Copies of this chain bind each other. A is one copy, B any other.
């Protein structure tokens, strides 16, 4: 249930409007009929608006629930990384499980222990405890950059632990400053990091969100 709301939230943030059944089904790895029937439940509970054969959209209430889950997820990712030595790349699955089961007290204590962080290790904003909508729209990706630009990495939305580990090893994490060397027409971008050049295929560049690197980028970037 919470998983469905989170999936809808993610899809909506990614621009889908309304969010189709098949999209939700795919991201949760269930069949389309399963997703349909969950959409019906969510509609009955007033958490989504539904247009049959079109898709769903979160209601304000549904969004609040989704934001609660997202807050749990991102707080957990941050905590597991900073206090339990989890790898930036592998923390996702653990947070995905635990996010549904922690209490409000746990959430509060974790937030306290971290000093109420506003972004997680991937650079994603953490909703505060009021659960007001956050500016969670990803900005421009590395794919969209022009040659010669200097940019700072804001968020890395990749989910594949191997890819994340690779990027981490190459020194690409939120906050890293990059220079775009070449944008090849074959779907490959070459960047310069720490004086070294690195080529990345479009599957990867599409999940690296950046902002123009002027003097100094702020932590969570709508620039």
Contacts and interface: CB of A to CB of B under 8 A. Distances in A.
A109 interface: yes
B103 A97 contact: yes
Interface stretch (A54-62, A78-86, A186-194): A78-86
Contacts of A93: 103
Interface in A49-97: 80, 83-86, 93-94, 97
A113 interface: yes
B101 A113 contact: no
Copies in the complex: 2
A103 B85 CA distance: 15
A97 B106 CA distance: 11
A102 B109 contact: no
Interface of A: 80, 83-86, 93-94, 97-98, 100-103, 105-106, 109-110, 112-113
**What are the nearest 7 A-B pairs in CB distance?**
A84-B109, A101-B101, A97-B101, A94-B103, A94-B106, A98-B101, A85-B109
A86 B109 contact: yes
Contacts of A106: 80, 84, 94
Question: Which of A80, A84, A85, A103 counts the most chain B CB atoms within 10 A?
Answer: A84
**How would you classify the secondary structure of chain A's contact residues: helix, strand, loop or mixed?**
helix
A112 B86 CA distance: 12
Given A94-B103, A98-B101, 17 more contacts: A80-B106, A83-B83, A83-B113, A84-B109, A84-B110, A85-B109, A85-B112, A86-B105, A86-B109, A93-B103, A94-B105, A97-B101, A97-B102, A97-B103, A98-B98, A98-B102, A100-B101
